Amino acid sequence: MVFSINVFNESISVKLINKKRNRNIYLRVKSVNLIEISANIFFTISDAKKLIDNKRNWIEDRLKFLKENSLKEDQYLFLGDKRHLNFTMKKLDEFYRVKSKEIIPPLVDLYSKKMNLYPTSIKFRKNKNTWGSCNYKNGLNFNILLIKYPIKIVEYVVIHELAHIKHKNHSKEFWNLVENYCPDYKKIMKLFKTFL
């Protein structure tokens, strides 16, 4: 179901997605033109409008941020900075792959020594949904698109994945370990969400 709302005197589409298995309600500002709400099958358009009214300040802040920080067609991000694009998108992916292999392994090495946790391998992929992962053999995988974001975010993801070598879950012990080596990880996670 799609309906429209007005924000800053502009019409914005709101897409309501009802799923049987949804236990929570997810509100996402997908772009300057689209808000997405994912909820259970009993969540109505009326409920969605109430949610939007309650979250209006957050929505306005998010839209303002997106308008100010959205990339133009001839721009790309590298370590959080906007740069002028002078090659094709295919070459941009290759650029991110090369830079990931230059920047991330030294960070893994640095934090491996600090944390005394060593991966069996480091691989790089372009993923849609994950920024990093640690498999059961303690091999680490990193998304090449991670290199778009500020170095603090890259360091946080490295620490996060190294912590999974010791804790294969998101238990309290896992987060305590992350916090030992990245005390401001909660702020960094919030910063990361502003880019996404």
- Strand-pair category, 34-39 with 81-84: unpaired
Tell me how far apart the alpha carbons of residues 146 and 151 are, in angstroms, rounded to a whole number: 9
Element (H, E) at 189: helix 185-195
What number of residues does the chain have?
196
Instruction: Return the domain boundaries, the chain.
Output: 2-69, 75-195
For 160-185, the pLDDT digits (tens) are: 999 999 999 999 999 999 999 999 99
Rounded-to-integer distance, Cα 95 and Cα 32, Å:
28
**Homologous superfamily in CATH for domain 75-195:** Metalloproteases ("zincins"), catalytic domain (3.30.2010.10)
Entry pTM: 0.71
pLDDT in tens, 61-119: 888 877 776 777 778 888 988 888 876 667 888 999 999 999 999 999 999 999 999 99
Angle at 187 between CA 156 and CA 62, to 5 degrees: 115
Burial category of 101 from C-beta neighbours within 10 Å (exposed 0-12, middle 13-18, buried 19 and up): middle
